[in-house]
Amino acid sequence: VWKLELIEIFEGLEARINRNKTLLIFPIKNHNNVIGYKEIKIGGCENTYPNLGCQGIIAIKQPKFGIIRGKGKLDKLDAVLVTTVQDLLALSVGNIPEDIICLPHGHSALPQEILPLLENYSKLTLWFGNSETCWDSARQFAKKLSEKRCYFVRPTELQPAPYSSLKEGRDLKEIVNNASPIWHSCVTNFSNLRQDILAQLQNVDKAKGVKWKRFPTLSNILRGHRRGELTVLTGPTGSGKTTFMSEYSLDLATQGVTTLWGSFEIRTERLICTMMNQMAQFPIASQIDKFNFWADKFEKLPFYFLTFHGQQPLKTVMEAVEHATYVHDIAHVVIDNVQFMLGMSNNDAGSFDRFYRQDAMIAAFRYFATTYNCHVTLVIHPRKEKDGELLTTNSIFGGAKASQESDNILIIQQKTLQSLKLKKFLQVAKNRYCGDLGVLPLDFDKVSLSFAEKKNKQENNTDIKYLPKSTYN
């Protein structure tokens, strides 16, 4: 929907086009300083440069707002925030009286450096897409922007993103005017939640969370990866907990899930090497000439890493995690592992103190996950069990709090076959979202350090294999 009136808007935004006329480039500004740009390719694909920490916006200012009237009072300023240039341009031809602002990194992150650019607005309407991540991001961004001045266009079928709404002939101005306040008082009623419930029912599949591409069977069981949940991963020593969690989080990060890794057991450099090998699907050390290519691709992923290693005070870790979540809009926190962070082992004396400290940590991260609407994954060593016995939810080291507070429990199981071959599988032992339990075979590829399901095996095992309920405690 490129109308002639957009030409004047392009000029105002100082847009450029490449010689082949296949790429539109829009500068991103902080006041009058150009600090980055967005490019739109044929087909609508958008990219931002720099890909992280871009400290500016693309804005269409309405001239009739912000005029000083009467006694020197400034008119109240309103703005609509969108995540793509396409949505920005759609609103620009939709007779919207508010300023229109495109955020630099879409719904994935809201750099705190651009917050001063939005301070003068008394009302901000967030109109994002209809995916679960867009929905969650709008709520997260509102906390940064002050919820009391934020309004939200509910992602219903009649209110898709601005560009889609324009193509469908919908009244953009009416949709903006009908935006609902994000902030509610401590007590609410059905009327205030009605549109939220409608949006959730109309986007029921998207509300299930982000699906794993490397582990489709896991997506079938858990339905997806959702904000605000607490997951516990356990398994015998040497079973590959860190390697699996590395690929598990890499899968999500490639789909835009901003992830904070706290690797307290192994060095961050070693962890990243594992991730890069899993991403490339071959050992990069054997083809070192391709390092820069894969390093550039990895650098674009929304990964952040805590610099801690070994034992750390819980308060120090929580302060760092909360700060990172606010600044970088973290959606997934991984702690590997709990015992190393707290400086505990199975041989430590004073079991009561160990259990108390771990329970305090579980409680802290449970509160954090709920309050910050962020998914937390804790890697915890199991208790020592008899050789040959499968682990259960009761095998998690410490008290019962980990299994009680968690939404999901994943257990890497090992079983020696009669041929003396070691067989591994991932057991979903708890699933609070839908209750489905099951197993996922884990076949490790030593070359790529990958547990990803092979396509031929996916075709032969399309149904989920469930363990008898008697195996769960």
State residue 195 phi and psi, 5-degree precision.
Answer: -70, -35
Cβ neighbours around 131 below 10 Å, total = 17
Among positive and negative, which fits the CA dihedral 290, 292, 297, 303?
A: positive
pLDDT digits (tens, 9 = 90+) for 215-273: 999 999 999 999 999 999 999 989 999 999 999 999 999 999 999 999 999 999 999 99
Mean pLDDT in the chain?
Answer: 87
Q: Indicate whether 400 pLDDT > 90.
A: no
Taking residues 446-460, what's their average pLDDT? 76
**pLDDT at residue 455, rounded to an integer:** 66
Report whether 90 contacts 117 (CB < 8 A).
Answer: no
Q: Indicate whether 435 pLDDT > 60.
A: yes
Q: Indicate whether 4 pLDDT > 60.
A: no
Taking residues 292-317, what's their average pLDDT? 94
Q: What percent of the chain has pLDDT over 90?
A: 63
**pLDDT at residue 166, rounded to an integer:** 92
**pLDDT at residue 193, rounded to an integer:** 78
Q: Indicate whether 293 pLDDT > 90.
A: yes
Closest to 332 measured CA to CA, from 225, 441, 182: 225
pLDDT band at residue 275 under the 50/70/90 scheme: very high
Closest to 124 measured CA to CA, from 79, 75, 174, 74: 79
**pLDDT at residue 351, rounded to an integer:** 57
Taking residues 399-419, what's their average pLDDT? 88
**pLDDT at residue 164, rounded to an integer:** 92
Q: Is 426 helix (H, G, I), strand (E, B) or coil?
A: strand
Q: Indicate whether 281 pLDDT > 50.
A: yes
Question: Distance between CA atoms of 473 and 470, rounded to whole angstroms?
Answer: 7
pLDDT digits (tens, 9 = 90+) for 378-388: 999 998 777 77
Taking residues 173-177, what's their average pLDDT? 94
Question: Distance between CA atoms of 51 and 244, rounded to whole angstroms?
Answer: 27
pLDDT band at residue 185 under the 50/70/90 scheme: low
Closest to 276 measured CA to CA, from 257, 300, 256: 300
Closest to 241 measured CA to CA, from 396, 345, 433: 396
Taking residues 45-49, what's their average pLDDT? 93
Query: Structural domains in the chain?
Result: 6-63+73-206 (3.40.1360.10), 210-471 (3.40.50.300)
**pLDDT at residue 461, rounded to an integer:** 45
**pLDDT at residue 65, rounded to an integer:** 43
Q: What percent of the chain has pLDDT over 70?
A: 89
Least confident of 58-67, 87-96, 186-195, 430-439: 58-67
**pLDDT at residue 422, rounded to an integer:** 84
pLDDT band at residue 177 under the 50/70/90 scheme: very high
Question: Distance between CA atoms of 463 and 101, rounded to whole angstroms?
Answer: 46
Least confident of 278-282, 436-440, 453-457: 453-457
Q: Indicate whether 208 pLDDT > 80.
A: yes
Report whether 231 contacts 406 (CB < 8 A).
Answer: yes
Six-digit token string for 453: 């399901």
**pLDDT at residue 447, rounded to an integer:** 94
Report whether 343 contacts 354 (CB < 8 A).
Answer: no
Q: Indicate whether 157 pLDDT > 90.
A: no
Q: Indicate whether 62 pLDDT > 50.
A: yes
Q: Indicate whether 345 pLDDT > 70.
A: no
State residue 412 phi and psi, 5-degree precision.
Answer: -85, 115
**pLDDT at residue 343, rounded to an integer:** 82
How many helices (H) and strands (E) in the chain? 15, 20
pLDDT digits (tens, 9 = 90+) for 98-151: 999 999 999 999 999 999 999 999 999 999 987 767 878 898 999 999 999 999
Question: Distance between CA atoms of 120 and 27, rounded to whole angstroms?
Answer: 22
